[in-house]
Each structure stands twice: as C-alpha cells, then as structure tokens.
Structure 1
C-alpha cells in the first residue's frame, strides 16, 4: 500500500517562535510562506503553521488516560521507524525538551506495543511521535 502525504494546518499564536521550533528542533525544510503562515515538509507530509490567537486547547489541554499516562487531546504526530524514533528522542533530550510524557514503551508485551513520547510546541500544540518494532501492530486489536 502506498500512502499519500497528509496536509495538516495548525494554529500558532507566534509564527516566528513556532517557525524556529519546527525548523530548528526537527530540521524541517520550509516550503512556501507568508507573514501569517509557513509550510513545512513534516517527515514527507505537509504541515502548515497558521497565525491564530491562542486556542483553549493551547492554554490547557484536556487529557485522556492511556496506559497509565494522561495523554493530551488534541495531538498529532508521525509514526516513525524504530531507529528514527530513538534518534529523535535522543535529540530532544539533548536539547532539553520538556516532555508531557517522557519517551517510553507503551503496552509493553501486549498487542500494539509501541514507543511513544509527547511534548508541546512553543504555542501549546501537543505532538506525539511513535514507532513500532512490528508495523503490523499499528491497527492491531
């Protein structure tokens, strides 16, 4: 199966701060931009940051319990390879990232076992990055 890139536009209340985060933390390549928005190549997908006043979820995220952790809602991210995930986790730790949920193995020894981590961008948008040793577990019940 061949996947098409997704397009996701997210609100940011400080375009310059968010631009620096996505460019410098992830090393994302910028595409088109204007004063109030910037396109990024987000691991092969199109992520656009758009200026918008602070949203309620950026001020105080709601959470749902998953595997003993409070997962922020809403959130977004990418399923990386096992190696990419570990490299990103290490880079984020070295840069002093404050995690909402520290990198760990969720559902250890169970169906759907995965590596996951959560953190916020500087405008309060929650991101999750995950990886599976066995990608067939992505939708396993």
Structure 2
C-alpha cells in the first residue's frame, strides 16, 4: 500500500504541478516577452518534453489507483470521494488524450512549417484544455485529501 500511494501521489504532483507551472507562470511570461516565431516553438518543445511525463503519470495513476481500490476491498468498499476521484481522473485523461492526439499534433506540424497563425490557434486550444484539466486536477487533489471527511 505505501508503494502504491507514494507512486500515485508523485504522478499526480508531476502532472498537476506541470500544468500549474505552464498555465499560471510560463504562459503569461512567454506571451508578454516572445513573439509567435519564438513563443510557438518554445511551447511545442516544452510539450514535447512534458507529455512523456504525463503519459507515465497517467499509467501510474491508473495502475496505482486501481491497485489501492483492490487493496481496500473493491469499488463497493471505498468511499464516495474515491468514486469522484475516479470520475475526475478519467475525465482528465480523456481531455489529455484529445489534447495530445489532436491540437498538439497540429501544433507540431504548424511550427515545423512556420505557419504561425495555425500554430497559434492550436496553442490556444491547448491552453483551454490545460486550464480545464488544471482545475479538474486541483479539485481532484482537494477531494482526495478532504473528501473522506466531507462525504462521511
């Protein structure tokens, strides 16, 4: 159990923390200091380095989450907060899959072709999805920490 919980927490911190850094800190700075021919390749490269970590986090979160549910006796034995955590987690994963396979791929192609308006549209779509996922991630963390007390 301690291994599953530790890996689960580390994966959540990497994914949600990375989104927080990108959305809250880097995005406004990059937008104010860099023109599109510099800003868009930066984002494409950043996502290229961050998304393999997100893939690893997704796998770890799924494996360790279901592992811990099994250790607690299955879905019938866990509290409402765990079911809420699963729902928000699966929604986050679905949004990430869309982000990765649609706008991120289009962003990479547009940046490679120096099509800055197209790349900007894709980056804006990614920004919206990351913003939604960041909120979902923070809600999921709050639910994981306090949910068992709120729904008892």
Shared topology, TM-score over 0.5? no
**Max radius of gyration: which structure?**
2
Provide TM-score, normalisation by structure 1.
0.28
Q: Which has the higher helix share?
A: 2
Q: Which has the higher strand share?
A: 1
> Relative contact order: is structure 1 or structure 2 higher (C-alpha 8 Å, sep ≥ 6)?
2
Provide TM-score, normalisation by structure 2.
0.27
